[in-house]
Amino acid sequence: MAEGGCAKTEKVEGQCMEEDAQLFHGIGVCKWFNVRMGFGFLSMNSREGEPLEAPVDVFVHQSKLHMEGFRSLKEGENVEFTFKKSSKGLESVQVTGPGGVHCIGSEKRPKGKSAQKRRSKGDSSSHGW
């Protein structure tokens, strides 16, 4: 058993929580998302269909985004999501666009190696001739 008598659970606010923590539904927008680091925060304005008096931040990782290809969010993008309470705060479990559609995502992509470093050694344009 884990410390405090919780088996396969984590302690939150002094209570044992199941590993499969209770999931909640939220609606909001992307507050910010760092495409290079692959995470950001959602600003939740509705929880379980009830409007919130003030927006609440929910952590989002790119692995939780419902979309094809490079996964990211655009600042201000409308989202629906399921989330859970974790030891670090509120954390998204799955994030979609409104009605369950794919997220739109950011136009930004992480910066890679410079163009000169990507050129092959046999590319004469890299020699300046």
Tens of pLDDT along 14-50? 444 445 569 999 999 999 999 999 999 999 999 999 9
Q: What integer pLDDT is reported at residue 101 of this predicted model? A: 97
Name the amino acid, one letter, at 120: S
How far is it, in rounded angstroms, from Cα 129 to Cα 127? 6
What CATH number does the domain located at 13-108 have?
2.40.50.140
pTM over 0.85: no
Q: What are the distances in angstroms from CA 84 to CA 40, 89, 92? A: 16, 8, 6
For residue range 71-94, list pLDDT tens digits in order.
Answer: 999 999 999 999 999 999 999 999
* Structure tokens given for 51: 């409007």
